[in-house]
Amino acid sequence: MEVLTAVSYLSSFLTLIYLLVVFGFIRGWHQLVPFQYKETKGFTSVSIIIAARNEAESIHRTIEALLAQDYDRDLTEIIFIDDHSTDNTAEIVRSYPGVKLISLKEDRALNSYKKKAIQTAIGEAKGSLIITTDADCRMGTRWLKTIVAYYEEKGFKMISSPVAYDEEKSFFERSQSLEFLYLIGLGASTIGNNKPSTCNGANLAYEREAFYEVGGFQGIDDLASGDDELLLHKIAARYENKIGFLRNQDAIVYTHAKPNLNEFLQQRKRWASKSTRYKNKSIIVLGVFIWFFNLSILLNLLAGVFYIDFLKIAAIQLALKIAIEFLFLTGVTKFARRTSLLVLLPVLNIFHVLYIIYIGVSGNSGKYNWKGRMVK
């Protein structure tokens, strides 16, 4: 009986923390004022930078989407950096006029080829505003001019913009779409709360001058991932309240979910590995609390096999978790025009608990595969 009481109090405490955290996400999301684009002629010179490795299968769609942008071509520079591709990625890029190709020539082994590629491209870039995306992404024709208009109106040093999955081919991929929107909404909400913690390099803009003022990737270049979030933290530390999230549907960049579980887990392990380098320890502490909250649900479920009272505790935790996440995701999925994904939320919650526990451990230990390389 004493054990049950102790578990009940601990589970209640962890559940309360989680509810407060997600409530904070809801508040942050609603703090973000949707950006209303006003037709205007932008004056900012832009360099769009894409690091590519073995992307021959889909890179043509990215190039064509970038070339179709409704923004002054004289102010736009598109730079691809070929990161030692073993397929014909470089040949495809060269076949498009108006696109610059840089071949990364790095003989010594690195842990972060992507940061090296981006930094090399920035060194040759002419634009005052750097925008990064990925070689498997697509965007509408108004994407670039919307980002520029937001930058010119707000004067932010860094702008995080939305990313979403589309063209799903399976239940597994649709499940990832919902989980990914949660992550994008989370990052946006922290910016809305003026406590930026996450962003996505597939749709990120920052001033070239600000990049150099914070030392670029210096100090974080030994980690394979983090060309987005860790740079965000450096710029946020230097320029308080100068980080924006562009809440506008024309600014969404689209990419694909991972086709199988192994690739999904490798990607998420890579993303989770960045957390070891967060300088803001409050983010790490919150992450630890969330991990223990999910662990408590699993332990209560397992104990519930033998004692029904533990199962009741787990059921209450899950019900509250689903309810608060539904409230948060209602706004985010509505923005992305994907509210139909919400029906997956109750089904996915048990799997999400297991996934959080696994990634919390594996993402902060050992190596993972990225673009055919084993990195850490």
H or E segment and range at residue 81: strand 76-82
The CB-based long-range contact list for 292-300 (8 Å cut-off, 24+ gap) reads: 292/14, 293/14, 293/15, 293/17, 293/18, 293/317, 294/352, 294/353, 294/356, 294/357, 294/360, 295/357, 296/10, 296/11, 296/14, 296/15, 297/321, 297/353, 298/353, 298/354, 298/357, 300/7, 300/11
Q: What does the domain layout of the chain look like in residue ranges?
A: 2-28+280-369, 34-258
Q: Which CATH superfamily is domain 34-258 in?
A: Spore Coat Polysaccharide Biosynthesis Protein SpsA; Chain A (3.90.550.10)
Pairing state between β 163-165 and 368-370: unpaired
> CA 322 to CA 346: how far, in whole Å?
6
> CA 18 to CA 316: how far, in whole Å?
13
Query: Is residue 376 predicted with pLDDT exceeding 90?
Result: no
Mean pLDDT of 349-365: 86
Which residues on adjacent β-strands are paired with residue 369? Answer: 374
pLDDT per residue as tens digits for the range 157-191:
999 999 999 999 999 999 999 999 999 999 999 99
pLDDT per residue as tens digits for the range 12-60:
999 999 999 999 999 999 999 999 988 888 999 999 999 999 999 999 9
Query: Is residue 246 predicted with pLDDT exceeding 90?
Result: yes
Residue tagged 């670039």 (tokens): 144
Tell me the pLDDT band of 368, cut-offs 50, 70 and 90. Answer: low
- CA-CA distances (angstroms) from residue 269 to 87, 110, 225, 363? 26, 19, 10, 4
Pairing state between β 253-255 and 163-165: parallel
Mean pLDDT of 264-278: 79
Three-state secondary-structure class, residue 198:
coil
> CA 247 to CA 154: how far, in whole Å?
13
> CA 76 to CA 97: how far, in whole Å?
13
Nearest alpha-carbon partner for 51 in 158, 165, 130: 130
H or E segment and range at residue 225: none
Total-model pTM: 0.92
